[in-house]
Amino acid sequence: MAKVIKTVEDLNQEIKSCTENLDKKFAGKNGKRSITICGGTGCLSSNSGEILAKFEQLIKEKGLSDKVDVNVVGCFGFCSQGPFVKIYPEDTLYHAVKLEDVERIVNEDIIGGKVIEDLLYVDFNTGKKCTRQEDIPFYQKQMRIALHGCGVINPENIEEALGYGAFQGFKKALLTMTQQEVIDEVLASGLRGRGGGGFPTGRKWQFAYAQQNDEKYVICNGDEGDPGAFMDRSILEGNPIAVIEGMMIAGYAIGAKNGYYYVRAEYPVAVARLRKAIKQVEEMGLLGDNILGTDFSFRLHIRLGAGAFVCGEETALLNSIEGKRGMPRPRPPFPAVAGLWGKPTIVNNVETFANVPYILREGAAKLAAVGTEKSKGTKVFALGGKVNNVGLVEVPMGTTIRELVYDIGGGIPNNKEFKAIQTGGPSGGCLTKDELDTPIDFDSLIASGSMMGSGGAIVMDEDNCMVDVAKFYMEFICDESCGKCSPCRIGTRRLLEILTKVTDGKATMDDLRDLENLGETIKVGSLCALGQTASNPILSTLRKFKDEYIRHVVDKKCDAGVCKNLMQYVIEKDNCWGCGMCSKACPVDAIHVTEYTAPGKKKPALEIDQTKCIKCGSCIATCKFHAIVKK
């Protein structure tokens, strides 16, 4: 454990020592090799915890403890290829490691000094084996600022965080800058909130700083409720110290003595590591009273959210922390004026706070040099859906959707055609293949009918039905509406009813007009951002895939074969051998023998009774002759 820090000299000495130790570890100059295993949730779900334990067991059994360190790190980002194991000082990266590979790695690499070729990542475009992480195309257009340290340092070891730059920004702010100078630095960086709204971070801090009050608060929003989003979770799992430092800098800047983390309880790994990190910083003396011998005192607290999407909205979050039902408040007053318990409060999300230490450590100009004119820095995305390289991605603002999907994401599986990408989650909209060259920044995405959101990016291919996509998001919104205002509570339910009519083949063209009109009404009439953006997926798909909606309404067809009530499973009798396997697999006894025997076949063909068929797909999965098709 790092020693107690009482003065800036203590901190400087500890940073120097930890930096030297970390550099020696990476370079192998400490006399040891190092095995690092991904400890992000994605890899943990693929047994990386057991892999870690097996490494520790074998290293001990083989008497290598004085020669080899075993370490856990945060998310490497390339989630679809995990679990990852990296060997220092060679920088060898093994992917998709299984429990049975552990002994091979110890015997052949650690003891034998031989790279295990079949565990290296192979670029599917070139066929090239990549020995090091930086050789993999997935990483080559990325830039890690918010993800600083993730996949590199042990998130449960404050000494490694100190060796990787932790608290240098805080030290600079606290000891060499006034509160206003810190705010000016954040303003000059151009940092905008990464939680979805994109409000300038420095301006929010300025509002809170200007308030005269005996108590102020800093809140970190780690609720992250978008389906498929895991950006904030991964940062908290991979480098919680960076977020702690960001909150401490914010606390000093506005004059707050207390900060709160609001993290959803469904993130047990992130919460556990955050708790441990806070405890380590407190034990070191960097959290508490009179930090580094100054008048600044600051403490951090954790509140667990129950998973309500609406609590991602800052005023609903405030109510939840206060022990009330998570429902939004009318604004003004804004939280910077009257927030938690009526006191001036700033609320930023995890990714925003993770950027702050970089700004103070490296200078505002360095962040401002990245990105576009009005969108500075980088953005972290959870890239998922129909894309080869699923994972956590951090790219400079201004990177195009095409680069995100094809250069980093590796394109669409099975050579399918790209159809759309949904950004901004339930609050966002879709971008089509005609918009692949749209730059990723706040204003360009809004101009294209979508939004940045917190960073979800779901790729869809030709097999996706865009009406069904809109329905999926509307089902989510209806479940998550707090019910406080009528436009959201009643209007979203009505939107879902109309969408259900469309997917069931019961809608008319008048319903499509109602869908659009009601969507626009809900946008302007709802109290908070949940309702104000609830109809975005519908309006976006209606505008860009209107012909698909019309096909559902007029022709009663879902060309993607997704909407069950608009399709049939049909046996092509000339291809049917009458084997009866589909009939045995059918759970509702909907398949029967006909009187027709196809030419060249010995048994009569079968037929599906459409009045009984529940369209479960069991027959298609069973038929080895491919005689059953969806129409």
DSSP per residue over 447-473, as a string? HTT---TTSEEEEEETT--HHHHHHHH
Gap between the Cα atoms of 378 and 365, Å rounded:
14
CATH of the domain at 517: 1.20.1440.230
Residue 9 lies in a domain: no
Residue 169 within a domain: yes
pLDDT the model gives residue 2? 58
Look at residues 87, 107, 140 and tell me which one is the last residue of a structural domain: 140
In a domain, 45, yes or no: yes
Is 12 within the bounds of a domain?
no
Angle at alpha carbon of residue 73, lines to 69 and 77, rounded to 5°: 140
Q: Would residue 271 count as lying in a domain?
A: yes
- The answer to whether position 600 is within a domain reads yes
Q: Are residues 221 and 353 in the same domain?
A: yes
> Which burial class, exposed, middle or buried, applies to 295 when counting CB atoms under 10 A from its CB (0-12, 13-18, 19+)?
exposed
**Residue 598 belongs to domain spanning:** 568-630
CATH number, domain of 609, equals 3.30.70.20
- Token pair in block for residue 110: 């650690």
Q: Are residues 497 and 601 in the same domain?
A: no
Crossing angle of helices 201-210 and 240-254, rounded to 10° = 40
Nearest CA to 530 among 226, 221, 194? Answer: 226
Axis-axis angle for helices 179-189, 350-362 (nearest 10): 100
Is residue 549 in a domain?
yes
* b/e code 99-137 from CB counts within 10 Å (16+ = b): eebbebbbeebbeeeeebeebbbeeeeeeeebbebebbb
Q: Is the domain of 311 the same as that of 202?
A: yes
Same-domain check for residues 451 and 491 = no
Q: Are residues 356 and 263 in the same domain?
A: yes
CA atoms within 13 A on the CB side of 537: 30
**pTM as predicted:** 0.94
Q: Give the three-state DSSP class for 146.
A: coil
How far is Cα 399 from Cα 372, in angstroms, rounded to an integer? 9
Chain centre to alpha carbon of residue 336: 27
Residues 181 and 73 both lie in one domain: no
What is d(CA 315, CA 65) in angstroms, rounded to the nearest whole number?
51
Model pLDDT, residue 197: 84
pLDDT at 388 (0 to 100): 95
Within this chain, do residues 54 and 127 fall inside the same structural domain, yes or no?
Answer: yes
Q: How far apart are CA 62 and CA 249, in angstroms?
A: 46
The C-alpha atoms of residue 396 and residue 135 are separated, in whole angstroms, by 19
The pLDDT value recorded for residue 74 is 96
The answer to whether residues 399 and 405 touch, using CB atoms and an 8 Å cutoff, is no
Do 255 and 299 fall within a single domain?
Answer: yes
Q: Which residues pair with 87 in a beta bridge?
A: 35, 92
Same domain, 245 and 348: yes
Residue 56 inside a domain? The answer is yes
Q: What digits encode the pLDDT tens for the residues 319-349?
A: 999 999 999 999 999 999 999 999 999 999 9
Rounded CA-CA distance 461/196 in Å is 25
Q: In 464-533, which ranges are E strands?
A: none
Whole-number Cα distances in Å, 206 to 146, 221, 357: 22, 19, 18
User: Measured between alpha carbons, how far is 43 from 45 in angstroms, rounded to an integer?
Assistant: 5
Q: Which amino acid is at 40?
A: G
pLDDT value of residue 125: 81
Q: Is 585 helix (H, G, I), strand (E, B) or coil?
A: helix
**Could you state, in chain order, the average pLDDT of each consecutive group of 10 residues for the chain (631 residues)?**
84 96 94 96 96 97 96 96 97 97 97 96 90 96 97 97 97 98 98 92 98 97 90 96 98 98 95 98 96 97 93 95 95 95 97 98 98 96 96 97 96 95 92 97 93 91 96 95 94 97 96 96 93 94 96 95 92 95 96 94 94 93 94 84
Question: Looking at residue 61, which CATH number applies to its domain?
Answer: 3.40.30.10
How many domains would you assign to the chain? 5
Residues 388 and 446 in one domain: yes
What is residue 584's predicted lDDT score, i.e. its pLDDT? 95
Instruction: Give SS3 for 239.
Output: coil
Domain boundary pick from 105, 140, 175: 140
Regarding whether 267 and 213 lie in a shared domain, the answer is yes
Tell me, yes or no, whether 440 and 543 share the same domain: no
Spatial neighbors of 19 by CB under 8 A, at least 6 apart, are 162, 163, 164
